[in-house]
Amino acid sequence: MPKALMLIGPNFEDSELMYPYYRLQEAGYEVDLVGPEADAKYTGKNGVSFTSDKAAKKTKVNDYDMIVIPGGQQPDKLRTNKDVVQLVKDAFDKGLLAAVICHGPQLLIEADVVRGRRMTSWPSVRTDLKNAGATVVDEEVVVDGNLVTSRKPSDLPAWMRETLRVAEKRVVTA
């Protein structure tokens, strides 16, 4: 069974965590919620709560096929956690499929993995992405190799459709 590592932290965008969490399970993925601490309850901006399965410090990217980074205020809070940032860097170093939406690219900037990548994000993150060396576009979903990015909650269907398409293609060619 394929496995997805989904980051979780305070003030995540509820729909951007819930939609991929359940959609990936529906597609046959085992999904682990990984945060700064294991067994910690995190609440989204709109009041939905989830409990982390694992702590970033104890999570090994070799156990996963994909990393998912929801947006909201969570990426800004998580980018100050060295264990979470290292986990993101390790996921990119290993070449995991990365599905990132909204403010999620803030974590990619902190992990220094956006240089030369074509991507999109929430409007307020775009200048930071450009300054970090990314080519930024305003599109519903952007696929650049193993990186799938989208802008906002209304992009969720396109984002997950492309994420699962890239995931399937990676399995077929592996």
Per-residue model confidence (pLDDT) at position 105: 98
Taking only the tens place, the pLDDT of each residue in 17-73 is 999 999 999 999 999 999 999 999 999 999 999 999 999 999 999 999 999 999 999
Q: What confidence tier does 9 reach under pLDDT thresholds 50, 70, 90? A: very high
- Give 131's contacts (C-beta < 8 A, 6+ positions apart): none
pLDDT at 174 over 60: no
pLDDT at 173 over 70: no
Closest C-alpha among 33, 153, 147, 39 to residue 95: 147
Per-residue model confidence (pLDDT) at position 172: 59
Taking only the tens place, the pLDDT of each residue in 127-144 is 999 999 999 999 999 999
Q: What confidence tier does 170 reach under pLDDT thresholds 50, 70, 90? A: confident
Total of domains in the chain:
1
pTM over 0.85: yes
Which of 23, 79, 103, 117 is labelled catalytic? 103
Find the domain containing 91 and state its range.
Answer: 3-173
pLDDT at 16 over 70: yes
The percent of residues above 70 in pLDDT, for the chain, comes to 98
Per-residue model confidence (pLDDT) at position 31: 98
- As a whole number, the mean pLDDT across the chain is 96
The percent of residues above 90 in pLDDT, for the chain, comes to 97
Per-residue model confidence (pLDDT) at position 135: 98
Contact yes or no for 48/27 (Cβ under 8 A):
no
What is the helix (H) or strand (E) element at residue 167, kind and residue range?
A: helix 156-173
Number of H-type helices and E-type strands within the chain: 6, 11
Active site residue 13: no
Neighbour-count burial for 54-69, b at 16+ CB within 10 Å, e otherwise: bbbeebebeebbbbbb
* Calpha distance 70→14 (Å, rounded): 9
CATH number at 109 reads 3.40.50.880
Contact yes or no for 72/11 (Cβ under 8 A):
yes
Pair of tokens at residue 59: 């999570």
